[in-house]
Amino acid sequence: MNLSGSGPEIPFLVQFLLLLWSLGLKGLALWKSAKYDQRSWFIAILVLQTLGIVEIIYLFRFAKKRLEFSELAFWKKQK
């Protein structure tokens, strides 16, 4: 059911995947911003709902210890 009454209906699976994507990135970005005492970023990430765009920008560009793509490969064994 589309609450606004206009536009296409988004399938439940797509909504669920977007929710997982957003929560995962938001959690990681909030964790890193709190760990490195970056209060402004913490508040911005907590308040803004952007489906991960602000979180990605923070993690890969503005975090004190930038996230590397190799760190995203969680399925690989850690040395």
CA–CA dist 47, 54 (Å, integer): 11
Please, what is the average pLDDT of the chain? 79
The two three-digit tokens of residue 43, written as one number = 């508040």
**55, 28 contact by CB (below 8 A):** yes
User: Over the stretch 10-25, which tens digit does the pLDDT of each residue have?
Assistant: 899 998 998 898 888 8
- What is the band of 74 on the pLDDT scale with cuts at 50, 70, 90? low
